[in-house]
């Protein structure tokens, strides 16, 4: 079964600032048949629930976390909670992360930034940024984008591919397994990037007689990049 880290509110946990959840039926009822979820909520961990809303305020490029009404600087508490939540999801064999859109913590390109009281465009929330830095070439998406059928299909495919790649990384015992993996993914790889597909084929051909471990690492590093395309 897949393991996926997810913003806890998307599972319906009443953990948002106003003690509500925002259950996403596709994720809980459909993806939930194939995946077990590792929920996280850095804001609940830092400030409890219910809580005052926060926003990200830029000060000389520095991202401060400020409570909206009382104007307190809660950046440090937020960073502590994010580090704890990151450790939690890093300790699990997850193959993807799903984030809640528009949140100052979890939005993926949909979080409003401010300079003073003025809006300064939309970027990644702080925990989304933390996840992107910690998990390179990893399937990460926000729930709002998964309403688009093509993006949804592409993301679900990435989750399964990454899961398979993790299994190969851990358990490959012979060259045959790497060849079988490459053969199974042949058409998908080709559809993503013909050039990378050929490069992966060259790695599998192993003209330089590399060890299985070296080969698998080189193969999967490019395979994962390819699946983020």
Helix/strand/coil (H/E/C) assignment for every residue in 22-64: CCCHHHHHHHHHCEEEEEECHHHHHHCCCCCCEEEEEECCEEE
Among 15, 98, 161, 203, which residue sits at the site for ligand SF4 (rule: CB under 6 A)? 15
Q: How near is the Cβ of 63 to ligand SF4 at its closest, in Å?
A: 15
CB-nearer residue toward ligand SF4: 15 or 146: 15
**Contacts with 175 (C-beta within 8 Å, 6 or more apart), sequence order:** 206, 212, 215
Give percent helix, percent strand, percent coil of the chain, each to the nearest 5.
50, 20, 30
Quick one: which of 219, 216, 187 has its CA closest to 201? 219
Q: For residue 78, state whether it binds ligand SF4 (rule: CB under 6 A).
A: no
Q: For residue 41, state whether it binds ligand SF4 (rule: CB under 6 A).
A: yes
CB-nearer residue toward ligand SF4: 100 or 192: 100
Residues 10, 24: contact at Cβ < 8 Å? yes
Q: How is residue 9 annotated by DSSP?
A: G
CB-nearer residue toward ligand SF4: 44 or 192: 44
Q: How near is the Cβ of 3 to ligand SF4 at its closest, in Å?
A: 17
Q: How near is the Cβ of 10 to ligand SF4 at its closest, in Å?
A: 7
Residue 136 burial (CB count, 10 A)? 10
How deeply is 131 buried, as exposed, middle or buried, from its count of CB atoms within 10 A (0-12, 13-18, 19+)? buried
Among 16, 182, 192, 227, which residue sits at the site for ligand SF4 (rule: CB under 6 A)? 16
Q: How near is the Cβ of 104 to ligand SF4 at its closest, in Å?
A: 8
CA separation, residue 136 to residues 83, 126, 145, 168, 222 (Å)? 17, 16, 20, 18, 12
Q: For residue 43, state whether it binds ligand SF4 (rule: CB under 6 A).
A: yes
Quick one: which of 133, 101, 123 has its CA closest to 9? 101
Q: For residue 123, state whether it binds ligand SF4 (rule: CB under 6 A).
A: no
Among 57, 105, 108, 200, which residue sits at the site for ligand SF4 (rule: CB under 6 A)? 105
Quick one: which of 168, 165, 188 has its CA closest to 176? 168
Among 31, 42, 81, 216, which residue sits at the site for ligand SF4 (rule: CB under 6 A)? 42
| Only segment of 5-13, 26-34, 75-83, 191-199 that touches ligand SF4 (CB under 6 A) | 5-13
| Only segment of 24-32, 58-66, 100-108, 219-227 that touches ligand SF4 (CB under 6 A) | 100-108
Q: For residue 7, state whether it binds ligand SF4 (rule: CB under 6 A).
A: yes
Binding site for ligand SF4 (CB under 6 A): 7-9, 15-16, 41-44, 100, 103, 105-106
């Amino acid at each position: 079964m897949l393991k996926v880290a997810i913003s806890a509110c998307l599972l319906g946990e009443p953990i948002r600032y106003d003690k509500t959840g925002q259950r996403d039926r596709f994720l809980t009822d459909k993806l939930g048949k194939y995946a077990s979820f590792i929920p996280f909520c850095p804001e609940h961990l830092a400030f409890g629930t219910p809580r005052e809303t926060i926003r990200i305020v830029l000060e000389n490029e520095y991202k401060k976390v400020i409570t909206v009404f009382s104007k307190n600087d809660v950046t440090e508490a937020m960073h502590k909670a994010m580090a704890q939540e990151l450790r939690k999801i890093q300790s699990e064999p997850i193959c993807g992360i799903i984030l809640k859109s528009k949140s100052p913590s979890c939005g993926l390109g949909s979080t409003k930034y401010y300079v003073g009281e003025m809006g300064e465009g939309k970027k990644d929330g702080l925990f989304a940024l933390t996840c992107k830095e910690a998990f390179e070439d990893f399937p990460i998406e926000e729930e709002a984008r998964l309403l688009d059928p093509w993006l949804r299909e592409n993301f679900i495919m990435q989750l399964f591919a990454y899961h398979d790649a993790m299994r190969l990384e851990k358990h490959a015992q012979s060259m045959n397994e790497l060849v079988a993996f490459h053969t199974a993914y042949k058409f998908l790889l080709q559809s993503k990037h013909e050039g990378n597909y050929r490069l992966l084929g060259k790695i599998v051909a192993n003209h330089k007689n590399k060890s299985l471990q070296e080969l698998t690492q080189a193969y999967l590093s490019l395979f994962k990049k390819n699946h983020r395309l």
